[in-house]
Chains A and B, each alone.
Chain A
Amino acid sequence: MAEPKLLTIADGVQLVAVQTDTFKTCRIGVQIALPLSGDIAAKAVLPYILRRSCRRYPDFTSLNGHLDMLYGATLGASVSKLGEAQMLKLSISSIDDRFVPDGESVAAQAAELLAQLLFEPKLENGTFALADVEQEKRLLLERMRSEDDDKRVYARRRCEEVMCQSEPFGKNRYGTADEIESLTPERVYAAWREALETAVIRFVLVTSGEADEVCALLKTQFSAVSRRVCDIRTQFVQTAGAVRYERETQPLMQGTLVMGFRCGMKDEYDMDPAVSVMADVFGGGTYSRLFSVVREKMSLCYFCAARLNRQKGVMLVFSGIETENEEKTREAILAQLREIQDGALTQETLETSVRSLCDTIRGYTDSPDVLCAWYGMQILNGTAKTPAQRISEIRAVTLPQVQSAAKAVTLDTVFMLAGTGEEHHD
């Protein structure tokens, strides 16, 4: 696999191209980063509007029929947060021409289609069609509500919301239900222009072919856009104040406890990568404190894990428990953290964690999806650091570094989604 090429398409627009014949597919994705402010709902509906049709394939059915004929090319759209950036994503994967039974060229068509979706959407009277916008509004509202139906996801989102209520990060990445309901074609059109003209944009291409054609195609498209790149910054709160507590009860059999911590970071590079290793020994793999003690030794739960959000400097711990065990679990989780802070971590456990993290990262080059996510994550840094470079950084982490990263961690918010413990039925 060749080293990635980092190419500039336009001001604030980059293409990361990875050339390899390891895979069966050609994959191209675009990440569009905008501040998590302004008309969040209009920006959130945008990737879904762009995914449903374009000038050439003007409705959902004809576009999807075209994808089927390209041997089931996949077209994905999503919205996420990266620190306090609202990330809009679109990606297409098709099988590589080498594997098409009738010798048809499929991969180039897929890359071209992504450009068409982005630059040549279906418009009516200079804006998006009302019927399309109305349907995507409904779908976005259902997507938002149905995500809350997954109680583990819901509890984590609520904890973040309470914890970061006075920071942009506390906002829902889809906007509010009211903001979505009031959306108009004009607002979505404005969001589209805002994205093309001001967003930090990164394309990632993983293919067996050369990147030249795709690069030229994108340069031509962007040459017609007048760019003024937006400024995206994330607010880091280093230390928690008094612990916030929020509790909600639903008729559920199991309770979900979520604890939100501040990691003492002043930016995403602060204590990196020691803070990643710290989160891993605390609640990452099966060797972590949370798995081996809270689950295995204490039998309190089926899952108990910690996840670091380095781009925001926060860490969430979550566990599915008997509601009556809330206090006991909370204490057990904090006790594990205190032990790491007090220096109970051994060199052996550190090595276990480093080995495991590095083993996972080494495998990143074995998946086009993971590679695209890896280079996509670096969009705001403007880098194209390889997995191998990350491995060297992690290997250099020392025990005192992990301990001081742990010492910087403070508990900010506890969110308890309490269950009534009863069977549902009707």
Chain B
Amino acid sequence: MTDKLYTDALLGESYREIRHPSGLTIRVLHKDGYKSSYALFATKYGSIDTRIAQADGSFRAIPEGTAHFLEHKLFESEDLDAFERFAKTGANANAFTSFDMTAYLFLCADRFSENLEILLDFVQSPYFTEETVRKEQGIIGQEIRMYRDSAEWEVEFNLLRALYHHHPVRIDIAGTEQTIAQISADLLYDCYRNFYDLHNMVLTVAGKATAEEVLAVADKMLKPASGKAAVREFVAEPPTPAQRTIEERMPVNVPQFALGYKEAIVSPERTEKDVLCADILLEAIAGRSSALFKRLLDEGLINTGFGAQYFHGFGYANCEFSGESADPFRAAEEIRKAVADVRKTGVDPAAFERARRKNYGRFVMQFNEVSSVAHALADSYFAGNDLFESARICRELTLGDVNARLGELLDDDTTALSVILPKDGKE
């Protein structure tokens, strides 16, 4: 067992990272003066994991949406399900599946140890039957339909479908009603064995709870694991998008758009500095104090929901500009022009400093909320980083760093535009 303390003096925060003998890594950030604690038990298994590594090094396909389906089913057990157990303690429990992670969590003020015991127990105790799998298909079917009716969701997933030829980031997180119909109890057990090894997981806790409290429960509840982290397949992507535009009509009043620039990558993951430089670059170009934001707003091409983000994960990375617009095609044209200009001239030094400060301030602010801290601890762990890494880099970042990064991003030949337009002349 190793136990290491990480501290950022200026931020006034520390956390402990413990490599538990069971194989699980545990990160605990205790906050003085807080009444509640937030715990997140996560595995590096998300919707992009559509293929399981075999003993001979080959990969076997599994149905789209399996990670999310498994998340729903893990709450069940032979007697009391996890929700019923948390009801007895008063904790607020939930779970989610993203592109690259499945996480189970709770927030509580009282009875932390008891809650952590339930969390560690139910996630380590799979119980799937054909009958309960069938029952869940109805609930998840409704969840899928709910998202399909959301224009905000569709504009984003359509963009990913346009940007990527093969990478599974292009499929819906919950799969489709057809793919989830192929899921069986046996398949769920297979996936569980492959992805829920403690070496593939992390437990993060933030708030009132101390590392000692967490360890006492961990020692009691964690079952030693076989010692293998799941292997992810790196899906190589052509540098250009699969299609340049994608349109869908939905019953909406206001059209929506997402303009993506695909990044050409040769290795699956980005460094913390690369991510930070991209974030600051996009803020400098399209943030609320930028010339582009003002021009688009004055010309009636965006509203205050407009923004840009760097979106990345294992084997995919892109820059996205998105929002609502009365004329999404013209908005996209204007953005492309502004981006091309910045690529010629480099980032304005004043815009860089504003963006750098904003990024730093927002990093600090997230430490107010136990939930954001626990999530940031897990995200940074899976990315292979110390939580405070990003703040340290941000304090020392220069305009030169960001301009160097600009050369790798935002190539106009890599764009795809996704647009949602009103249906049946609705406007």
Q: List A residues at the B interface (Cβ < 8 Å).
A: 1, 20-25, 59-62, 64-65, 67-74, 93-95, 98-99, 101, 135, 138-139, 142-143, 145-146, 148-152, 250-254, 285-287, 291-292, 295-296, 299-303, 320-322, 352, 355-356, 358-360, 362-363, 365-369, 419, 423-426
The verdict on B33 contacting chain A, using a C-beta distance below 8 Å, is: yes
A145-B253, A366-B369 given; 10 more Cβ-contact pairs under 8 Å: A60-B297, A68-B287, A71-B361, A72-B359, A74-B365, A287-B84, A301-B142, A322-B142, A356-B92, A359-B89
Residue of A nearest to B305 (CB): A146
Q: Given A146-B253, A286-B86, A424-B423, do A25 and B293 touch, yes or no (CB 8 Å)?
A: no
- A419–B361 Cα gap in the complex (Å)? 44
Chain B contacts with A in 346-378, Cβ cutoff 8 A: 353-355, 357-362, 364-365, 367-370
Chain B contacts with A in 393-427, Cβ cutoff 8 A: 395, 421, 423-424
Chain B contacts with A in 122-168, Cβ cutoff 8 A: 135-136, 138-140, 142-143, 145-146, 148-152, 154
Contacting chain A: which of B21-29, B220-228, B243-251, B266-274? B243-251
Number of interface residues of B (CB under 8 A): 81
In the bound complex, do residue A367 and residue B287 qualify as a contact, i.e. CB atoms below 8 Å apart?
A: no
5 contacts between A and B (CB under 8 A): A60-B288, A65-B289, A98-B12, A143-B303, A296-B139
In the bound complex, do residue B249 and residue A426 qualify as a contact, i.e. CB atoms below 8 Å apart?
A: yes
In the bound complex, do residue A352 and residue B87 qualify as a contact, i.e. CB atoms below 8 Å apart?
A: yes
Residue of A nearest to B325 (CB): A142
Most A C-beta atoms less than 10 A away, residue of B248, B249, B368, B395? B368
Contacting chain A: which of B56-64, B106-114, B190-198, B336-344? B106-114
- A32–B83 Cα gap in the complex (Å)? 40
In the bound complex, do residue A60 and residue B294 qualify as a contact, i.e. CB atoms below 8 Å apart?
A: yes
Residue of A nearest to B362 (CB): A72
Q: List B residues at the A interface (Cβ < 8 Å).
A: 10-12, 31-36, 83-84, 86-93, 107-110, 135-136, 138-140, 142-143, 145-146, 148-152, 154, 207, 247-254, 287-291, 293-294, 297-298, 300, 303-305, 324, 326, 353-355, 357-362, 364-365, 367-370, 395, 421, 423-424
- A149–B427 Cα gap in the complex (Å)? 11
In the bound complex, do residue A64 and residue B287 qualify as a contact, i.e. CB atoms below 8 Å apart?
A: yes
Contacts of B300 in A (CB 8 A): 135, 138
Q: Which of A99, A145, A152, A366 contacts B36 (CB 8 A)?
A: A366
Q: Which of B140, B142, B252, B358 contacts A254 (CB 8 A)?
A: B142
Count CB-based A-B contacts (< 8 Å): 208
Q: Which of B109, B154, B248, B303 contacts A362 (CB 8 A)?
A: B109
In the bound complex, do residue B12 and residue A302 qualify as a contact, i.e. CB atoms below 8 Å apart?
A: no
Closest CB of chain A to B161's CB: distance in Å?
13
Contacts of B90 in A (CB 8 A): 352, 355-356, 358-359
Closest CB of chain A to B334's CB: distance in Å?
16
In the bound complex, do residue B253 and residue A302 qualify as a contact, i.e. CB atoms below 8 Å apart?
A: no
In the bound complex, do residue B364 and residue A95 qualify as a contact, i.e. CB atoms below 8 Å apart?
A: yes
In the bound complex, do residue B365 and residue A72 qualify as a contact, i.e. CB atoms below 8 Å apart?
A: yes
In the bound complex, do residue A253 and residue B145 qualify as a contact, i.e. CB atoms below 8 Å apart?
A: yes
In the bound complex, do residue B324 and residue A22 qualify as a contact, i.e. CB atoms below 8 Å apart?
A: no
In the bound complex, do residue A139 and residue B303 qualify as a contact, i.e. CB atoms below 8 Å apart?
A: yes
In the bound complex, do residue B361 and residue A72 qualify as a contact, i.e. CB atoms below 8 Å apart?
A: yes
Q: Which of A61, A95, A425 contacts B294 (CB 8 A)?
A: A61
In the bound complex, do residue B12 and residue A149 qualify as a contact, i.e. CB atoms below 8 Å apart?
A: no
Q: Given A61-B294, A367-B369, do A254 and B110 touch, yes or no (CB 8 Å)?
A: no
- A20–B368 Cα gap in the complex (Å)? 12
